[in-house]
Amino acid sequence: MIEIFKSTNHRLEKVNAPTEGCWVNVVNPSEREVAQIEGWGIPPDFVTHSLDIDERARTERNNGIIFIVLRLPYVQGKKSPVPYITVPLGIILADTFIVTICKEETSVIHEFAAGQVHGLSTVKKNRFVLQLLLRTADRYLAYLRDIDNFVDALEEKLHRSLQNKEVRELLKYQKSLVYFTTALKSNELMLERLQKSQLFQVHPEDEDLLDDVLIEIRQAIEVTAISENILSQMMDAFASIISNNLNVVMKFLTSMTIVISLPTLIASFYGMNVRLPGQDHPYVFSLTLLVSLMTSLIVVIIFWKKEWL
Which is it for the CA torsion 79, 81, 83, 89, positive or negative? negative
69 pLDDT higher than 80:
yes
Residues 74-90, mean pLDDT to the nearest whole number: 87
Which is it for the CA torsion 274, 276, 280, 284, positive or negative? negative
Give 38's contacts (C-beta < 8 A, 6+ positions apart): 44, 47
Residues 66-72, mean pLDDT to the nearest whole number: 88
Q: What is the pLDDT of residues 103-137, one digit of tens each?
A: 888 888 888 777 777 777 777 777 888 888 888 88
Q: What is the pLDDT of residues 237-283, one digit of tens each?
A: 666 776 776 777 777 778 778 878 878 777 776 666 666 666 666 77
CA-to-CA distance for 99 and 234, rounded, in angstroms? 43
Range(s) for CATH 3.30.460.20 in the chain?
2-244
User: Residue 198: pLDDT band by 50, 70, 90 thresholds?
Assistant: low
199 pLDDT higher than 70:
no
Tell me the CB-side half-sphere exposure of residue 194, using CA atoms within 13 A: 27
Q: What is the pLDDT of residues 16-42, one digit of tens each?
A: 777 777 888 888 888 888 888 888 888
| CATH classification for the domain delimited by 2-244, as one of 3.30.460.20, 3.80.10.10, 3.40.190.10, 3.40.50.720 | 3.30.460.20
User: Residue 295: pLDDT band by 50, 70, 90 thresholds?
Assistant: confident
